[in-house]
Structure 1
């Protein structure tokens, strides 16, 4: 079980690194006026999103193993709240992919300020997940 926890934490950290960084690239894309810089940023965003997807899958898979096989959190309310927050993170991840499609198509409608606020969503969700996992309030 400890190895599964270690890998779960590793995958969570790696996935979140992408969830934190990709919207920062979007901030720069929304501000970019030079085609060469835009092309570089789009390439970075595409590669990062492609890299993040397997990390999200591995995070969820190891979390499910901990929950379903080892029974961590079984019968406790905090685990259901955590699962809901993880579902919201998956939606956020997919939303990032949709925004990337808009950038690639040249149809972005949002300003850099929007993406600065958008970048705060995973921070808040991570804080809530950490509170649930560490404090187990219910």
Structure 2
């Protein structure tokens, strides 16, 4: 029964985390589009609060995912090739998460060098990675 709780919490925290890291680059789009320092300062507060709000979800996603792997056991882990690919993609998502933090820090210092078009792409690209992760977890094609 514990495994179902681990799975439910893993999915819940993943959805909450993804919602936040899909929204943060959207804030960057608007931030990069404005020339008003007052508006930029408001975005800085929103971006920082959002990043620190969703980061615990990233940690809890990892914790409950680890508990799931542990619960299923080493033999299952070794045989689950789909999971190995999923974990590589997951590393990319965590890299993306911390890249957003780097960008957030650049915005905080008013050192943004990217256009709003760059942030639009940054906002949309990870959707494909998330799709691949979900397909691997549900369909288990390997």
The TM-score range, normalised by the shorter chain, is over 0.9
Aligned to 2:46: 44
Q: Which residue of 1 aligns with 2:73?
A: 71
2:105 is matched with: 101
Stretch of structure 1 that moved more, 70-79 or 80-89: 70-79
| Alpha-carbon distance in 1 for matches of 2:46, 2:72 | 38
Structure 1: 5+ residue stretches without partners: none
5+ residue gaps, structure 2, are none
Residues 78 and 137, structure 1, Cα contact 8 Å, conserved in 2: yes
How big is the shift at 1:122? 2.0
Match of 2:115 among 111, 114, 121: 111
Deviations 1:42-70 (A, max 9, x none): 10000000111111000011001101223
- How many angstroms apart in 2 are the aligned matches of 1:32 and 1:39? 11
Runs (4+) of structure 1 exceeding 3 A deviation are none
> 24, 27, 40: which is aligned to 2:26?
24
Paired residues, what number? 138
Alignment check: 8 A CA contact 1:19 1:122 kept = no
Match of 1:129 in 2: 133
Moved more, 82-91 or 61-70: 61-70
Following superposition, the deviation at residue 133 of structure 1 comes to 0.8
**Alpha-carbon distance in 2 for matches of 1:11, 1:115:** 24
Note if contact 1:11-1:59 (Cα within 8 Å) is conserved in structure 2.
Answer: yes
* Distance of 1:9 and 1:98 partners within structure 2: 26
Question: Partners of 1:71 and 1:81 in 2: how far apart?
Answer: 18
Q: TM-score, normalised by structure 2?
A: 0.93
